Structure formats: C-alpha cells, structure tokens
C-alpha cells in the first residue's frame, strides 16, 4: 500500500506566507511568482514534469499570529520540510532527493532553516485500466474530465464508473518517495514503510489516514 503525501494545516488553516526575497516582488501572488520561475517547455509554459528544482525564495516570513512555527511538512507555496523531516527522508533514501535551504522567520522573531524539496524519483507507475484513467498527451485523464470537455472517450474507459488511483506494485516497490511522471511533479507519494516511520516519529503536517493508494 502506498500513500499520497497529503499535507494539512495543523492550526486550522494555513497562515499567510510572504517571500522576503527581492526576486519574488514583481508579479503578484507568491504562487504566481514561483510558477513563472519553473523550468519551461519549448512553448514557454511551465514544465511540471521537469526534474529540475524550480527557482524558489531563499527567505520566507510565516505570518502565524500566535508566533507558532511551521509544521514538519508544509506546501506554501512549494513542498518544504523541517530539518527533522529531511533527516528521516535521507535516512530512507540517502542522496536521492534535492533539498534547498530556505530561511523562515516567524511573526514573533524566531527563525528556522527549512528545506524546499525536489523529489528525485520520477516513475511511471499508474495502472490505467484498474484506475479507470487514460494516458493522453503525457497526462492521466479522468473520464468525467473528457466528457466535460467534449473530448473523445478512449476504448476501455467507463464514464459511469468511478476512477481511483491504482499503482503497479512492481513499479513502486523499489522506492519510498516518488512522483509519477504523468500525474504532475507536485503530486508526491510515499511507501507504507516511510509513512509508518513518519507516524512513529511524530512528524507534523501530514494527514495519511485518507490518503491510501491501492497497488496491484
């Protein structure tokens, strides 16, 4: 069994975050700003399948009014982790994933070095038939999306049946943290062994109970 790396706010909602890096003061919202600095395709659009780390701020302000620190896992505006979570990931897959330090300042003056995460394992693992999904133009698509956009329905898809993500066991078995090549680089998954380790060590910011992914 695999798990989606499902991240949730630990204080009821995500505090506002602000870049303290002058490179990110020109476009608008922080999420729009970092999207403009992702690796791009030949047509100039963001390349979410690229293995390169996007250009991200080197300093952030976390605006929690109570002065509380960010949890071990956070996604504002990109997957970032504490030193504790980084150490656990590197214990399981040393030298596989890319970590870029980012200085966090909290609303009452405390500071922390956190790490942007670029997942190193990019694999093709989705079982299309059992998932009731079709791989079209290097992206997994749901029948309901094809119907909504009046696109042709490939043979084998059932528009009346639900879709659910199913992985091929032989494809995911060697890995503990990965992204699927055709689901987008922001969709990260972990093995049940790594999930158990996170839970045992009490890392914060994860909601794994409803994030199970079947394997065949």
According to the model, what pLDDT value does residue 27 have? Answer: 43
According to the model, what pLDDT value does residue 172 have? Answer: 94
Give the domain ranges of the chain.
2-50+58-122+173-215, 127-164
The model's pLDDT over 7-36, given as tens digits with 9 standing for 90+, comes to 988 888 888 888 888 776 554 455 555 555
Q: Are 116 and 72 in contact (CB under 8 A)?
A: no
The model's pLDDT over 159-213, given as tens digits with 9 standing for 90+, comes to 888 888 999 999 999 999 999 988 876 689 999 999 999 999 999 999 886 667 8
Q: What is the pTM of this model?
A: 0.84
According to the model, what pLDDT value does residue 19 have? Answer: 87
Distance CA 42, CA 19 (A): 28
Question: Average pLDDT, whole number, for the chain?
Answer: 86
**Does residue 49 surpass a pLDDT of 60?**
no
Looking at residue 24, what DSSP letter applies?
G
CB atoms within 10 A of CB 44: 7
Q: Are 189 and 4 in contact (CB under 8 A)?
A: yes
Q: Are 193 and 176 in contact (CB under 8 A)?
A: yes
Average pLDDT in the 38-51 region? 60
Looking at residue 22, what DSSP letter applies?
G
């Amino acid at each position: 069994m695999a798990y989606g790396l499902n991240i949730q706010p630990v204080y009821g909602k995500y505090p506002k975050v602000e870049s303290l890096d002058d490179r990110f003061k020109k476009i608008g919202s922080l999420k729009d700003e970092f999207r403009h600095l992702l690796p791009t395709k030949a047509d100039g659009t963001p390349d979410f399948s690229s293995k390169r780390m996007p250009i991200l701020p080197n300093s952030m302000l976390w605006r929690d009014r109570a002065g509380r620190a960010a949890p071990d896992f956070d996604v504002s505006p990109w997957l970032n982790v504490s030193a504790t979570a980084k150490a656990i990931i590197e214990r399981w897959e040393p030298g596989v994933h890319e970590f870029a330090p980012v200085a966090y300042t909290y609303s009452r003056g405390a500071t922390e070095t956190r790490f942007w995460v670029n997942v190193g394992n990019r694999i093709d693992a989705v079982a299309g038939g059992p998932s009731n999904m079709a791989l079209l133009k290097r992206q997994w698509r749901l029948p309901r999306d094809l119907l909504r956009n009046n696109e042709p329905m490939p043979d084998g898809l059932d528009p009346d049946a639900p879709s659910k993500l199913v992985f091929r066991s032989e494809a995911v078995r060697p890995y503990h943290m990965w992204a699927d090549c055709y689901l987008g680089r922001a969709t990260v998954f972990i093995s049940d062994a790594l999930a158990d380790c996170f839970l045992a060590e009490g890392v914060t910011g994860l909601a794994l109970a409803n994030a199970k992914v079947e394997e065949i």
